[in-house]
Amino acid sequence: MPEACVLAGVLAVALLGAWLKARQERRKVAEEARRWRRCLESTAYEAANAANAIRGNVLALRHLHADERQLAHLDEIEQALERMGAALEQVRNPGAGAKRDAALAPRVTAPCSGPDLTG
């Protein structure tokens, strides 16, 4: 009988230890996830504002007598901004992954509209 009690005690302590360890691990993971989430949100916030600042200034540049060659580059910047916008939408709404992929796919493979540099 005393052996059974000791065994039960040891088992209980071992279980408690395992549970405490698992809880600590869970908390660590949750904390880590929170930190990543904060970091991601902060990065997304800065990136969205930077993208919108670029977009605004590209629109302004288009009206400053940009010539044909410059316009081609502005088109490229705007296409890149569209891609950034789609990626940022993914951060805001992680469930919209498929939509984002669909939005990104044609742009990645779209032919370059800039000057022909091959020849």
Partner 1 sequence: MMPYPSGALPPGTCRRPRARKLTASLAQPCHRLEQILSHPVTRKVLARLAAPRADGRSLFERLSENYDNPRLRGWERVKWKLPSLLIDWGLARAGLDKRTMKEKLFHHPPTVRALALTARSIAQHGLAEPQRFAAPLFVVWNITQVCNLRCRHCYQNAGPRPAPDELTLEERLRVVDELAANGVPFLAIAGGEPLAIRDLWPVLERANRRGLHLTLATNGTLLTAETAARLKECGVKYVEVSVDSADPEEHDAFRGRKGAWAQAIQGIRNAVQAGIRTGLAACFTRRNVHRVDEMVELAISLGCQTFSHFNFIPVGRGRQMLEEDLTPAQRELLLRKLERTLQQGRINVISTAPQFGRACVVYGPQEGVFATGHAGRGRGSKTMVLARYIGGCGAGRCYCAIQPNGIVTPCVYISSLAVGDLRRQSLEQIWNCELFALLSDRSRRGDHCAVCDYQSHCGGCRARAFSYTGDIAAGDPGCVYNYPLWDELAAEAAQELPVLQDQHLQARQAGAVPLPGGD
Residue 100, Cβ density class (10 Å: 0-12 exposed, 13-18 middle, ≥19 buried): buried
Near partner 1 by CB under 8 A: residue from 9, 17, 56, 97: 56
Closer residue to partner 1 (CB): 3 or 67: 67
DSSP 77: H
| Nearest-approach distance from CB 22 to partner 1, in angstroms | 30
d(CA 58, CA 76): 11
d(CA 101, CA 76): 19
| Nearest-approach distance from CB 87 to partner 1, in angstroms | 9
* Site residues for partner 1 per CB under 8 A: 41-42, 44-49, 51-53, 55-57, 59-65, 81, 84-85, 88-89, 91-92
